Structure 1
């Protein structure tokens, strides 16, 4: 028992795993490349949790809400915040790249295969009508099998409202879902104990496969996107704090394990369960957490939108193609629509950038240049996505008057200052 108390918290263990993994991949690249299955195994364990956890918690949250009126109000307030945050993210991405000029002087040869891949992706278009229809599942079992979050959320919303309207019989279903959710949170704890090992393996593979030297020519882009992301998060925290009079930098501390995990694995799914737990421990009601977080996972991708605007402008700079203010505003509007729900489309981040580049007459080959560092950029944008969704959840809870400053401060003090959560588990 004494030995357990002396062990560092989970976030510290994950950070140690990240640093050791990077060093291992650099010094032992051949072995590091073979560690990919270990990292993949960890991600697969995380993914096996997602569907039962999200479905059960959504049913609890929606059935607890009770009707479409409150559900619509929650969704409406969430969409308002999502759009405001997305617009700010896009603007910051464009402004920083305009000032930093990371694409100027970059001269990286593009292989024929990479160019062909980029060109193929560029010709793929996201048909909004088909996309909206795709949200409606024809077979919910098939949606579960494919981990199609949008279809699962759509079905869960209708199912939850139905459960709320059948009276006492519905209480049995809610109770069952509560038991499933609690069980899945316990399973999450077991899986999370393996996070340092999974992170070590994934980072070792990334460094050994892509190397550190190849990042140097594109280092300016990485630093520009990183700076833009940090600036966006700071502005987001500041604005949210001013609106609610709550210290949103405490939210960052509360969800630090989820943010570090999302950065290490470049997977929003990996961070979702623990982020939801920490938000509840901050005093956010379960019905708000279980509705806003999964919805934001598909519709509030601040990091992805920021990255997309930066990538488009970077490609233009590489080829010396000037873009007017009007064209950049049009790019913003295009990306505001095309990035909605892209988490549910395989490789959609790449497809959106390629399609947008082609729409504005930018060479498709430019997209291939970014592929070499996409893993690093993915780590940055995924962390921003998770952070943005956590902030949105707290904001909506405040707007719904279901979270007060007093409750927030008390929960933070009890759970994250006097009794640090990361050391309990």
Structure 2
């Protein structure tokens, strides 16, 4: 009698299939592709899917405040050294300014090298830029920036509460309650993230359905330059910084691939904020560093936005055949070093930053923003992804320099 022996190959195939089908990254990627197809072949239905993307991002935003607050309060109260809090904050802001300035300079350099603005203006798609044409530098208010930036408000409140908790007599009991609440919040977030494919599908279907792939053709050269520059920045600049600490940028990108795809689908880096904080802690970064650096970085470390803004100014200068002297280029970088910090948290703020920069130069017509409106949506994904990667690297570096990094967690996590 022949006894059938189990086939190891069949078991392995089933195991691989099961791993793929239960992988969130796989479903987010499938959803993005489905969203592109729906938006392209049925634009009307694609536009209707906007509600899915918006509602998912709104749902994620509900977790941002509690997670930032709990992470920072628990981090500071558990640190026991208030001087360290100040040191991390100063170190993070210094790092942000240096790296963002490098991003601005690279944007200018690549724009001059490839000259994306040397195109026929008659073939470009115009948008309505009337709401930005009267903007100037005086339109910026740091108070208004703070009041409109929920993340910064929570960050400040959490720092104050964390410091105060260090002097509270019933500190241990309070920390225990906050830790329990933190576990509940992160458990709820885990289940909400299962909806990520729906959010990615809705966001991508709306973008393609509303603006159409044909929008990319007239401004394709600018888009190509922006994406190329951001890739160079990520792999060359951020990659070199990580390599100094013997970490591969590719392994980091692989580790946060779910968050990158989520940002790609929703065009919102905020959608990935809670989960990226969790992953950085699992990687080995301390809770206190993650809690301070990530929320601050979302407002002050906008590498992708910096590249986009600097390239857009040079693009418009080339479009209108305006020659900028070396001093004027330095002026552009100097203005954007300050005003780009106000390009976070408010829809359309990037165009206001551009408008104020152009107004300060008095050489490039502000009306040129109309040429950028049609393609801006397609570049927002690149900006958001680069911003996310930049903040991930910043958190790792600050944690490393603080010697507050659990090395034992690094290799096992990155090898998964």
TM-score by length of 2: 0.90
Alignment-derived partner of residue 411 in structure 1: 409
Structure 1 segment 184-223 matched on structure 2, within 5 A: 184-223=185-224
- Is contact 1:53-1:180 (8 Å) kept? no
Pair 1:226-2:240 in alignment: no
> For the pair shown, which has the larger CA radius of gyration, 1 or 2?
2
- Is contact 1:66-1:165 (8 Å) kept? no
CA distance in 2 between partners of 1:101 and 1:342 (Å): 25
Alignment-derived partner of residue 387 in structure 2: 385
1:126 Cα deviation from its structure 2 partner: 4.4
Change (3 A) 1:365 1:18: same
- Is contact 1:57-1:178 (8 Å) kept? no
Pair 1:21-2:35 in alignment: yes
Alignment-derived partner of residue 367 in structure 1: 369
Q: How big is each residue's C-alpha offset from its partner over 1:82-109, in whole Å with a ceiling of 9 and x where there is no partner?
A: 1221111001100111111111114158
Per mean C-alpha deviation after superposition, the further-off stretch among 244-253 and 203-212 is 244-253
CA distance in 1 between partners of 2:236 and 2:101 (Å): 13
Alignment-derived partner of residue 6 in structure 2: none
Number of residue-to-residue matches in the alignment: 401
Q: How big is each residue's C-alpha offset from its partner over 1:349-398, in whole Å with a ceiling of 9 and x where there is no partner?
A: 11101111121121111112111111111110111111000000000111
Match of 1:125 among 121, 138, 157: 138
Structure 1 segment 309-348 matched on structure 2, within 5 A: 309-348=310-349
Match of 2:121 among 93, 104, 107: 107
Secondary structure in 2 matching 1:125: helix
Structure 1 segment 18-417 matched on structure 2, within 5 A: 18-108=32-122, 114-120=128-134, 122-123=135-136, 125-127=138-140, 130-132=141-143, 135=146, 148-167=150-169, 169-361=170-362, 362-403=364-405, 407=407, 410-417=408-415
1:243 Cα deviation from its structure 2 partner: 2.9
CA distance in 2 between partners of 1:289 and 1:307 (Å): 26
Please, which runs of 5 or more residues in structure 1 have no aligned partner? Answer: 136-142, 421-425
- Is contact 1:262-1:271 (8 Å) kept? yes
1:253 Cα deviation from its structure 2 partner: 1.7
Q: How big is each residue's C-alpha offset from its partner over 1:103-130, in whole Å with a ceiling of 9 and x where there is no partner?
A: 111415889981422313x246344xx4
CA distance in 1 between partners of 2:180 and 2:352 (Å): 40
- Is contact 2:252-2:414 (8 Å) kept? no
Change (3 A) 1:126 1:159: farther
1:326 Cα deviation from its structure 2 partner: 1.5
- Is contact 2:127-2:374 (8 Å) kept? no
Alignment-derived partner of residue 138 in structure 1: none
Q: How big is each residue's C-alpha offset from its partner over 1:45-80, in whole Å with a ceiling of 9 and x where there is no partner?
A: 111111111111111112222343111111121122
1:292 Cα deviation from its structure 2 partner: 0.8
Per mean C-alpha deviation after superposition, the further-off stretch among 219-228 and 103-112 is 103-112
1:289 Cα deviation from its structure 2 partner: 0.9
Q: How big is each residue's C-alpha offset from its partner over 1:309-358, in whole Å with a ceiling of 9 and x where there is no partner?
A: 01111111111111122211111111011112431344221110111112
Per mean C-alpha deviation after superposition, the further-off stretch among 337-346 and 322-331 is 337-346
CA distance in 2 between partners of 1:112 and 1:232 (Å): 29
Secondary structure in 2 matching 1:161: helix
1:400 Cα deviation from its structure 2 partner: 0.5
Change (3 A) 1:113 1:275: closer
Secondary structure in 2 matching 1:116: coil
- Is contact 1:23-1:204 (8 Å) kept? yes
Change (3 A) 1:343 1:398: same
Q: How big is each residue's C-alpha offset from its partner over 1:222-250, in whole Å with a ceiling of 9 and x where there is no partner?
A: 11000000000012333223432333432
Runs of 4+ in 1 over 4 A off after TM superposition: 1-4, 108-113
CA distance in 1 between partners of 2:149 and 2:190 (Å): 21
